[in-house]
Every structure is written in C-alpha cells, then in structure tokens.
Structure 1
Amino acid sequence: MQIAGFDIVRLVGATVALLSTYVVAKVVSRALAKTFEKTPFSEQIERAIVRVSKYVVYVVGLFVVLSILGVDLTPVIIGLGVFSIAISFATRDIIRNFVSGIIVRGDKPFRIGDRIKIRGHEGRVVKIRIRTTVIEAENGDAIFIPNSLFITNPLVVKRKGKKS
C-alpha cells in the first residue's frame, strides 16, 4: 500500500524516527542543562552548547528519516563534508580562541583584578570573555588578548591584593 508514492511502512517508520528525534533532542537538552549546573561555564556558553547539540540531534534524525524514505544521501553527505572542511578552515582562529576561552575559564590561571603580563602586554584583568580577555594597561587603554595566547605562551600573574 502506498501514499503519495511512498510505502506506508516507510512512512510509519519515518514518523516514528521523527518523533524519536524530538524526544532524544529533549533528553539531550535536559541532560546537558543538568550537567552544566555543576560547571564553571557562563550561561551564554551553556546555552550555545545545548542549542548546537539539539541541532546535531535534529540533523541526524533528518538523515535517518530521509534514509527510511529511500532518499539517496550520498551527495548530501559529500557536500556537507566539503562544506565542513571549508568552514573549519575559515573559522580556525575563532574556534581556537573559543576553546581556549573555555580552558581559561575552567583552569582559572588568573581572575578579574589580577595583573598579568603576556607577550609584552601588561595590565589588570577587567573581563574574561569567551574569545578574548580584556586587560587595562597603566595608561587606561583596554587591551584585548585572544585567549589562545594564554594556552601557547608564558604568562606572568600577580594576584590581586598581593604585594610584589
């Protein structure tokens, strides 16, 4: 038996896969939200990770549904692979600084108010953001330092409140 050119069994299977995808996305979102209650990440990072995870589940679910319906996914997968490689090269530095920002927030080598010196830049830490850390120089200038520098370079930290 067919409906709109599709076998009824395939349509039922695709519907079940679609509903399962929705349920899995909800479960993953809740599990991640619960996990993040115990982490030092900012709410913004947590929301972004949850959102990306949900999208990944939805994309995988879409592929499963299309596969059940008999759609040839080979050209789509090849296209996504090429697209992913191009995007990864284009966003390499952004991703590196983002991951470094997560590491800096997790390791906490310095805190707001500490004085730091890295690659000739020195100042008081005023903000620790996901891609950059902002320090205030002696003359009041704001210096934006990519977080990847803290992972790959020696860092001098003078703790807030400690005399040198």
Structure 2
Amino acid sequence: MFAIAQLREEEVTMLVQVIEVIITLAATYIIAKIVTRTLGKIFEKTPFPEEIEKGIIRVSKYVVYILGLFVVVGVLGVDLTSLIVGLGAFSIAISFATSTIIQNLVSGIIVLGEKAIEMGDTIQVRVGGMNYVGKVVKIGVRSTVIETEEGQTVFLPNSIFISNPLVRIEKAAKQEGETSTKKG
C-alpha cells in the first residue's frame, strides 16, 4: 500500500511542485478564457474591424500564457533572472525588426478610432512625391486599399495617414436613409 509518509523529502517536494504546476496551468487557462471573453464583450461595442479585434484578443491571450509560463518556471525553481534578461534582449531585437509593422498597426487603430476615413470615401494623399486619389475599398489592420479612377488597386500603409496630409474629397453615402454623397 502506498502512503505519503513513506515518501522521501525530495519526492514530496517534487509532488508539491507538480501539483503547483497543474494548478498554475489551470489558472492560466481560466484567466486566458476570462480575458478573451471580456475583450470580446468590450469589442462588441466598438467600431473596430473584426481582424483588429481578433488580433488584440490573440495577443492578450498569449501574454497571459507567457506570464503563466513564467510562474510555472518559477515554481520549478528555475532562476528567472537570466531568462528575463534574454527575453528582454530578444524583445528589443524583435521590436526593431517589426517597428514598421507595429507602426502601421497602431496607425490603423488610430485611423479607425478617429474615423478619419471610412469605406467608400474618396480620398487624396501625397506620399513621397506621388499623389494618390481613389475610393477606399478596404481598411485593414496594416494597410488601406484604394481603387483609383483608372481602376488600379493601391495598398497604402496606414502609417501614411498619420504622417501625411489627407484630403477627404467625397464622403461615402450612409447606408440607411441617405442616397447622395456629402462633400467634405
């Protein structure tokens, strides 16, 4: 018959650590679910496109999982100092490598939040000596797509709408109750 009293001290310590790890993993999973649901409910009330909402929810969930992993590693008795320093250096390298992407993502959120442009608007923006005029057909996480009068599809990084003058030539007509476009 197996009795806990027969276990050696190291075995008891290991058993306690295993139980702590299981509890930590379960708590991390539950917290990630709560964060996901809470953000989902918050985003139901916002005008952000679904792809931005999903991206923010996904990143938030990963942050919870990473924090849970740190707790698990700490429970196992591993010194986190060198791991945190290494991850800090890795994070700096990643942030430099993805700075343009991050800039476009943040700019996209600002453009959507301020409603500077909307689907169907005809806009004009000048970038590096080029003048782009067209109808907004898609506002994405990293870029906005316009279609020119010549039928060209142009993908514009969202950051240009923050750093360059933007002219809304024609505002899109409202879906309900409004049939003509407004100037503005």
Query: TM-score under structure 2 normalisation?
Result: 0.80
1:68 counterpart = 2:79: no
Equivalence map 1:105-124=2 (5 Å): 105-119=112-126, 120-124=131-135
Write the deviation string for residues 85-137 of structure 1: whole angstroms up to 9, x where unpaired.
11100110111011111111121112222211111211121211111111122
1:101 counterpart = 2:108: yes
Alpha-carbon distance in 2 for matches of 1:58, 1:113: 40
Alpha-carbon distance in 1 for matches of 2:13, 2:78: 11
What is the root-mean-square deviation of aligned Cα atoms in Å? 1.9
For 1:60, what is the secondary structure of its paired residue? helix
Contact 1:133–1:147, Cα closer than 8 Å, also in 2: yes
1:162 counterpart = 2:182: yes
Candidates 129, 144, 164, aligned match of 1:133: 144
Contact 2:123–2:135, Cα closer than 8 Å, also in 1: yes
Who is 2:10 aligned against? 2
Letter in 2 for 1:84: S
Alpha-carbon distance in 1 for matches of 2:183, 2:67: 55
Write the deviation string for residues 47-82 of structure 1: whole angstroms up to 9, x where unpaired.
222122111111111111111221112222111111
User: Where in structure 2 are there 5+ consecutive unaligned residues?
Assistant: 1-8, 173-180
Count of aligned pairs between the two proteins: 163
Alpha-carbon distance in 2 for matches of 1:6, 1:51: 35
Letter in 2 for 1:156: V
Task: List 4+ stretches of structure 1 deviating above 4 A.
Answer: none
Letter in 2 for 1:89: F
Q: How many percent identity over aligned positions?
A: 56
Letter in 2 for 1:94: I
Alpha-carbon distance in 2 for matches of 1:128, 1:121: 16
Larger Rg: 2
Contact 1:135–1:144, Cα closer than 8 Å, also in 2: yes
Alpha-carbon distance in 1 for matches of 2:67, 2:182: 52
User: Where in structure 1 are there 5+ consecutive unaligned residues?
Assistant: none
Candidates 57, 60, 64, aligned match of 2:64: 57
Contact 1:132–1:146, Cα closer than 8 Å, also in 2: yes
Kindly state the Cα deviation for residue 6 of structure 1 after the two structures are TM-superposed.
4.3
1:24 counterpart = 2:43: no
